[in-house]
Amino acid sequence: MKYAIVIPDGAADVPLEELGGKTPLEAADIPNIAWVAEHGRVGTVRNVPDDMPAGSDVASMSLLGYDPQQYYTGRAPIEAAAQAIEVTPDDFIFRCNFVTIVDGVMEDNAAGHISTEEARELVALLNQSLGGEGVRFHSGISYRHLMVARGEFAVTTTPPHDILSKPAADWMPTGQGSEQLRQIMDAARGLLADSEINATRRDLGDNTATDIWLWGEGKMPSLPSFESKYGKKGKMITAVDLLRGLAELIGWERIEVEGATGYLDTNYAGKGAAAAKALDTCDLICVHVEAPDEAGHNADVKGKVRCIEQIDKHIVGPLIDRLKAEGDDWRILVLPDHPTPCTIRTHTAEPVPFAIAGKRIESVVRGRFSEANAEAGELHIDRGCELMEYFLTVR
């Protein structure tokens, strides 16, 4: 059997006035995903347990078949695994965003999607001035970076994308160890204000990296390998360290695609071609696309529709063609990890629609892939971590 999973991150949404009362999934021209829905089964799955935050970290861990209530320790440690950062049992790992705060308000959680090259220089500046014994910064991609700190932390932090247009001071870290984090954030603000990178961005009219935002803390988790748990060898294609880290933790090979950006301009066709080729040497290929989530955070309705269409055309379509070359011995699963409604610009914990087609998957109700059709169906999985076993073993 060959298996393919396509994750259009945050694609689920709500009916939008700009789309005539349709959701982006309903408004998008997605003939290939529609084919999966019409020839297979559509349902809903709750990837975020009721007592956990509605983040891609929790939702993606569920989606990949691991119970976050058992294995989740925080977002940042997962991303640290992607970079093979060496940590000790005493180290806490924090996500470190470059953000834009204007007049005390969180204006942009991504600092104008600062380039990786610019960000790398700013991270080096942070290490030079603020790093040392017990604290170090690690470069990631674009605005997404990490800080490792030794000590005891029992803090409450908030993702910056959850507080867009809100006063940042109301959402600073609180709890044991928060004073140290606030001091680091305050010191970073002064350093960034004087940087040449930000001076150039100001001259160009781009959002500057005015601040760092620390959140997503935790210690490194330990997960059983996917092969030991499910008996399949998998590979991951993604542009973001969160999914790279999950792949590393469960023993999947990571495939890097040139031009994959984690944004709306990502190399959709390159991802689709790489995914189809990967099936020659693995049981399961998983393709994650961050673009719909970014569009949701930016309230970019047209952009969200457009990137869903690109995923359908350049990723789902080629994968269906490749799988059909296996005869009947294959399955494909398409689903978001969580909703990211354009109306509120952040994640929610509601169940998401999924569609499965392939061997021994019998169609029950033929209909378009959408939130409403999935909700009206009879297949509803309340624990997201159970969907993987259903996908791999349903008879």
- pLDDT digit string, tens, across residues 59-100: 999 999 999 999 999 999 999 999 999 999 889 999 999 999
Tokens matching residue 263 = 């944004």
- What's the whole-number mean pLDDT along residues 36-41? 94
What was the pLDDT predicted at 367?
Answer: 78
- Separation CA 131–CA 149 (nearest Å): 10
Has residue 178 got a pLDDT over 70?
yes
- pLDDT category, 133, cuts 50, 70, 90? confident
Tokens matching residue 195 = 């940087």
- Spans of all domains in the chain: 2-71+222-393, 82-218
> What average pLDDT is seen over the chain?
95
Which of helix, strand or coil describes residue 61?
helix
Determine which of 130-139, 143-152, 250-259, 356-365 has the lowest per-residue pLDDT on average.
356-365
**Angle, helices 75-82/56-63, rounded to nearest 10 degrees:** 70
DSSP secondary structure letters along 235-255 = EEE-SSHHHHHHHHHHT-EEE
- pLDDT digit string, tens, across residues 154-164: 999 999 998 99
Has residue 364 got a pLDDT over 80?
no
- What's the whole-number mean pLDDT along residues 52-57? 93
Tokens matching residue 35 = 């084919």
- pLDDT category, 188, cuts 50, 70, 90? very high
Indicate the Cα dihedral angle 63, 224, 84, 173, nearest 10°: 60
- pLDDT category, 250, cuts 50, 70, 90? very high
- What's the whole-number mean pLDDT along residues 232-242? 96
What was the pLDDT predicted at 365?
Answer: 66
Assign domain 2-71+222-393 to its CATH architecture: 3-Layer(aba) Sandwich (3.40)
